[in-house]
Structure 1
């Protein structure tokens, strides 16, 4: 669980940095839903 959590945080951080690079000075808020509507077998991170 910890490894998956770390991968998500790393991915979100990289995504946030990419947005900030493209739109300098912007405020970035990324909301990650606590659950998914995607079936378990179709999820991929």
Structure 2
């Protein structure tokens, strides 16, 4: 992928974690969201 697309997707992953994690009441769902966001972030970082 192009570097600017990777950067955009990394920013999206960070935004998802920051915006939606506090809205989730269930700790399990927060953990899942954080895991998926982190996985997406690191996959795009490579």
Q: 1:29 aligns with which of 35, 38, 42?
A: 35
Where in structure 1 are there 5+ consecutive unaligned residues?
Answer: 35-45
Structure label with greater radius of gyration: 1
Structure 2: any 5+ residue segments left out of the alignment?
none
Does 2:26 correspond to 1:20?
no
Considering Cα pairs closer than 8 Å and 6+ residues apart, tell me whether 1 or 2 has the greater RCO: 2
The number of residues matched between the two structures is 33
The question of 1:6 aligning with 2:3 is answered no
Structure ranking higher in helix proportion: 2
TM norm structure 2: 0.51
